[in-house]
């Protein structure tokens, strides 16, 4: 086990231009990140090209064994990684936050290593025998976000490596240290060159998307950036998996028990202080139980402590950056100006250090209000009243995104009927946002395309080849 200081030292730049990363909860310096440029990216891609054939030649069993060893390395450094993540991203150590995220990294590595991947016989009729195989793509570019920087990096790199590719990771400029540290730990158990990280700005991301030696881009982030990647990648006809913006709806049916579902609703909306693509961001509640759901949810939300992440008591943290704080503040002010009823929060303390926005619940709000129609990506949840299920489904489907959604009911069969009418890549019943390494995950409409996780996720990191004969 290495110390926190040793972990930081292992990723400290030896030379070149650097940028100091600040803790969003306190404003204190966390560490210095290198500022890599296009030349650094080109060198990393060249090294990946050179290392990839030998890695591919090892086969699935040997690559899976290496991923298992990498998972063990993450576990050995888990507490140090969690402390760095908490300081850089802002999320608390406890709750479904920093320690949870680091644990998910090792769990996903192990799950990805364990998925069987055999050739598929597609026709065998006595005259024709055809098998589907999946060959490595070559070099994969992974571009990650700042909200779950370590976990989403593993979601991208683990299946890419398992399928025999080399990977070049480009982390968010807001959270480079977490990803640099994670890759440093993983590389204790991986061959040289097959996994690298380039910590740069938009020009590095743009070069990655257009680089002729990159065969696929994995991207999680905003729809606007996803569209830019599509344009940049078109010249080389890259494969893409895009997990883009969402504005997930939840529908509470009239038979639901408000007190029973309140905690699930809270964590569906406020996990990672609302900074999650597949978080519950619009809650539609039937008129019969509307006031009771508002009351039960307010009671749960008011009891959840928010503060500096290294304080073991906290389960909610700050927004990660000023830009996101300003977006949330603008949207909540728009709701207040419209006459919506603030049940909790909505009043950030201007004298408090850090980007803390209080847990906010807003009731009696119109479905067209900006707080509902735009993705707030923070700790503010609008609660919209409806009178018929048809009305709720129409409102849920009205936007041009469709990552996730949920239906809440005492009758799971009825909930599944409603779920089938919702335009979203995943619809949860009586929960929201949970993912599983064996269950495919991806969006519809402008929430992106392609799926991650499970066998389908592995296939998306390979090139299909039919052997016929």
The span from the CA of 459 to the CA of 78, in Å, is 29
Q: Is 277 a catalytic residue?
A: yes
For residue 29, the tally of other CB atoms under 10 A from its CB is 11
The DSSP letter of residue 271 is G
Q: Is 294 a catalytic residue?
A: no
Residue tagged active-site, from 88, 101, 173, 243: 243
The span from the CA of 41 to the CA of 43, in Å, is 5
Burial of 368 (0-12, 13-18, 19+ CB in 10 A): exposed
CA nearest to 149, candidates 99, 100, 101, 199? 101
Residue tagged active-site, from 88, 105, 173, 277: 277
For residue 308, give both structure tokens: 């500096």
For residue 154, give both structure tokens: 């593993």
**Phi, psi dihedral angles at 103 (to 5 degrees):** -60, -35
CA nearest to 264, candidates 435, 428, 436, 93? 428
Residues 6+ apart with CB under 8 A from 431: 264, 268, 406
The DSSP letter of residue 119 is P
User: Which run of H or of E encompasses 219?
Assistant: strand 216-220
For residue 39, give both structure tokens: 């030349």
For residue 339, the tally of other CB atoms under 10 A from its CB is 10
The span from the CA of 326 to the CA of 218, in Å, is 28
Catalytic residues: 243, 277
């Amino acid at each position: 086990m290495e110390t926190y200081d040793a972990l930081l030292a292992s990723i400290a730049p030896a030379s070149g231009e650097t940028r100091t990363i600040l803790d969003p909860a306190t404003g204190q310096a966390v560490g210095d990140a290198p500022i890599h440029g296009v030349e650094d990216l080109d060198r990393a891609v060249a090294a990946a090209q050179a290392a990839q054939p030998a890695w591919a030649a090892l086969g699935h069993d040997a690559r899976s064994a290496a991923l298992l060893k990498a998972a063990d390395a993450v576990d050995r450094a888990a507490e140090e990684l969690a402390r760095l993540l908490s300081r850089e991203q802002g999320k608390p150590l406890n709750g479904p936050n920093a320690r949870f995220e680091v644990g998910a990294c090792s769990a996903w590595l192990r799950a990805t290593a364990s998925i069987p991947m055999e050739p598929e016989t597609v026709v065998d009729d006595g005259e024709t025998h055809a098998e589907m195989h999946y060959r490595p793509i070559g070099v994969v570019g992974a571009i990650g976000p700042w909200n779950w920087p370590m976990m989403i990096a593993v979601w991208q790199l683990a299946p890419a490596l398992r399928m025999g590719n080399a990977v070049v990771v480009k982390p968010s400029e807001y959270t480079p240290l977490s990803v640099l540290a994670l890759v440093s730990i993983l590389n204790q158990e991986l061959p040289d060159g097959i996994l690298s990280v380039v910590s740069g700005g938009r020009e590095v991301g743009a070069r990655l998307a257009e680089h002729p030696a990159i065969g696929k881009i994995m991207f999680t982030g905003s729809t606007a950036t996803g569209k830019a990647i599509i344009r940049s990648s078109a010249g080389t006809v890259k494969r893409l998996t895009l997990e883009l913006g969402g504005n997930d709806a939840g529908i509470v049916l009239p038979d639901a028990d408000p007190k029973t579902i309140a905690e699930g609703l809270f964590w569906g909306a406020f996990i990672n202080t609302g900074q999650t693509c597949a978080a519950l961001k619009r809650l539609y509640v039937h008129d019969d139980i509307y006031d009771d759901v508002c009351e039960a949810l307010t009671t749960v939300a008011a009891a959840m402590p928010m503060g500096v992440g290294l304080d073991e008591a906290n389960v909610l943290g700050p927004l990660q950056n000023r830009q996101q704080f300003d977006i949330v503040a603008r949207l909540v002010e728009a709701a207040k100006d419209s006459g919506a009823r603030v049940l909790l929060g909505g009043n950030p303390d201007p004298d408090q250090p850090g980007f803390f926005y209080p847990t906010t619940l807003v009731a009696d709000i119109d479905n067209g209000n900006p707080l509902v129609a735009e993705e707030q990506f923070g700790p503010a949840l609008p609660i919209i009243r409806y009178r018929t299920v048809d009305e709720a489904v129409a409102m849920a489907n009205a936007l041009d995104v469709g990552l996730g959604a949920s239906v809440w009911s005492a009758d799971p069969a009825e909930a599944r009927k409603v779920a089938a009418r919702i335009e979203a890549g995943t619809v949860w019943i009586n929960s929201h946002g949970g993912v599983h390494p064996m269950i495919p995950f991806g969006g519809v409409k402008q929430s992106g395309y392609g799926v991650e996780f499970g066998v389908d996720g592995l296939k998306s990191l390979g090139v299909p080849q039919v052997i016929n004969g």
